[in-house]
Structure 1
Amino acid sequence: MPERTATIASRVGLHARPASLFIEAVKRQNTKVTISKDGSAPMDASSILSIMSLGAANGDTVTLAAEGPDADAALTELVALLETDLDAE
C-alpha cells in the first residue's frame, strides 16, 4: 500500500473549511484512503470525525496511505491539496 507524507499548509490546520475540502477530494477518489499523524493508528480519511480528531495544525506532518488501482494518483492529488493554504483561496 503506497504512503506519502504531507505538511499541513492551511493557517488554521486541518479544521473546518480545509477539512471539508480535503474530505470532498478523498470521496472523489477511486481508492480507500487513510490518514495518520505522529504514528497514530490510520483512520478513514473520508470521515470528518477522523480528520477533526487528528488535531492537525499548520506545519504538522500527516501520513496518507491508499489502497486500490489509482492509489498513487490519489495520493499525489491529496498531498498537493494538503500542502496548499486552503484558507487563502
Structure 2
Amino acid sequence: MQIYFSPELIKPQFQVLNIVDQNEKAVGYMTCLFDEQKVYVYGQSEEIGVKEDFTDLVKPYIQGLTKAMPQHEIYSYFSVGGQKIEINFQEKKK
C-alpha cells in the first residue's frame, strides 16, 4: 500500500503530518516538536499492514532533519498497530 505525508499543521515550533493512503484515507500521523537543541518526533499508525511503508516514509524524513539540524538531538518514538517499531535513522559514517 502506498502512503504519503499530508501536512495538517506547520508552525516554526511544530509540525503535524497526516499519513494517508492512495485513497486519501488517514492511516496515521507524525508530529515533530522543535526545541532550542532538541527535536521530538512521534509517529503512529493503527494499520498493521503499513509497517514497512511507514518505515520507508518516515526514515528519509528523519534523516533529512538530522542533516538540516545537525546541532539538535533527535528523540523519536514510532508505533504501528500499537507495537513500537525501531527506525534506525542514523547514517553510517564512512
Under TM normalisation by the shorter chain, which class is it? 0.3 to 0.5
Higher helix share: 1
- Say which structure is richer in strand: 2
- The structure with higher relative contact order (CA 8 Å, sep 6+) is 1
TM-score by length of 1: 0.34
User: Which is greater in Rg?
Assistant: 2
